[in-house]
């Protein structure tokens, strides 16, 4: 009986540890970021003008939509400070992820 109780305690402890790790996981882990990312940073930004959300870091990649001026964007990483990868947080493309020209995003003051 003592062995069963100890096994139950170990299982409960493991569930708490694993569950806590899942709850503490960041929104975008390094493992889920595109390989083009070479600087990982999380920052809230907004479009300074109308800008394309692209499938990759460059104008040759497909446009996934247009972000209007002031649309929110959470930046997860950059490629050479030229392109930012992240998630749209407001506007018509809310929830989409993609690449935006770095110079066309402004940091949001908190």
Q: How far apart are the first and last CA of the chain?
A: 56
Tokens 């995003």 correspond to what residue?
105
Helix (H, G, I), strand (E, B) or coil at 110: coil
Tokens read off for 50: 């109308």
Q: What pLDDT sits at residue 21?
A: 36
Convert the pLDDT of each residue in 16-57 to its tens digit. 334 443 333 345 555 699 999 999 999 999 999 999 999 999
Phi first, then psi: give them for residue 27, nearest 5 degrees: -60, -40
Parse the chain into domains and list their residue ranges. Answer: 28-107
The CATH superfamily assigned to 28-107 is SH3 Domains (2.30.30.40)
What pLDDT, on a 0 to 100 scale, did the predictor assign at position 29? 58
pTM reported for the whole predicted model:
0.73
Greater pLDDT, 86 or 15: 86
Neighbours of 47 (CB within 10 A): 23
pLDDT, tens digit (0-9, with 9 covering 90-100), for 59-80: 999 999 999 999 999 999 999 9
């Amino acid at each position: 009986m003592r062995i069963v109780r100890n096994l139950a305690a170990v299982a409960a402890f493991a569930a708490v540890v694993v569950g806590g790790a899942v709850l503490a996981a960041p929104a975008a882990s390094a493992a889920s970021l595109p390989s083009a990312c070479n600087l990982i940073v999380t920052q809230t930004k907004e479009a300074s003008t109308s800008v394309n959300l692209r499938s990759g870091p460059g104008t040759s990649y497909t446009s996934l939509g247009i972000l209007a001026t002031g649309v929110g964007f959470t930046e997860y990483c950059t490629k050479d400070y030229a392109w930012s990868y992240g998630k749209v947080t407001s506007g018509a493309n809310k929830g989409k992820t993609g690449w935006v020209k770095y110079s066309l995003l402004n940091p949001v003051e908190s």
